[in-house]
Amino acid sequence: MKKAVNHYDWVSVTLHWASAVVIIGLFAVGLWMVDLNYYSSWYTVAPHWHKSVGLTLAAVTLFRLLWKTVKQQPAIEGATWEKALAKLAHLVIYVLLFGLFVSGYLISTSDGRGIEVFDWLTVPSMGELFPDQSDVAGEIHEYLAYALIGLATLHAVAALKHHFVNKDNTLKKMLGVKEK
């Protein structure tokens, strides 16, 4: 029987906070990017970086899920309903992320061109799989992004509630602080 752990390992902590920063950054850049016009010097640069970082986040998220299956995680603290909501929120966050990855791919590849990732590699295109793919996937991408940011905000508020109201170890575990 494995000994219970009471904090996250440095890999989990790093992946969590790096993902949070990248997600917020991608959201902000996405909001800014949709208003760029053809004559802006950022018109092609910003989407290239947005797609490259987004696909890198997709790979990191896959690794993160794999890591969670091989590395023991600390127990979730709180009442039974809080534990259930926390598990549901984490599941929905991952579903939203993968929805964003797929919809972003569908937006970017509907014209038959692959996605250049930092000029290192090209993710191939499957072409247009359904009519108005870019527009439909773009709308889905936007709604999923807002939903993810909303749920991530709720996730952060819940962590702060655990820290300041419940005065439990929830936030400290994800900050990499070990209990004494």
- 3 part of a folded domain: no
- 4 part of a folded domain: no
Closest residue by Cα to residue 55 from 134, 128, 114, 113: 114
Per the DSSP assignment, residues forming a β-bridge with 123 are 115
- 21 part of a folded domain: yes
- 98 part of a folded domain: yes
- 128 part of a folded domain: yes
Angle at 144 between CA 143 and CA 147, to 5 degrees: 90
Domain of 98 in residue numbering reads as 10-175
Contacting residues for 171 by C-beta, under 8 A, at least 6 apart: 159, 160, 162, 163
Question: What pTM was estimated for this model as a whole?
Answer: 0.93
- Domains held by the chain: number: 1
- 5 part of a folded domain: no
Q: Give the CA distances from residue 167 to residues 9, 17, 156, 158, 178, in Å, rounded to whole numbers and listed in that order.
A: 21, 21, 15, 12, 15
Confidence of residue 1 (pLDDT cuts 50, 70, 90): low
Q: Give the CA distances from residue 119 to residues 27, 44, 45, 123, 127, in Å, rounded to whole numbers and listed in that order.
A: 22, 13, 12, 11, 20
Give the tens place of pLDDT for each residue, 26-84: 999 999 999 999 999 999 999 999 999 999 999 999 999 999 999 999 988 888 999 99
- Distance between CA atoms of 107 and 110, rounded to whole angstroms? 6
- Distance between CA atoms of 115 and 36, rounded to whole angstroms? 20
- 49 part of a folded domain: yes
- 171 part of a folded domain: yes
Least confident of 1-10, 13-22, 128-137: 1-10
Angle at 41 between CA 40 and CA 45, to 5 degrees: 115
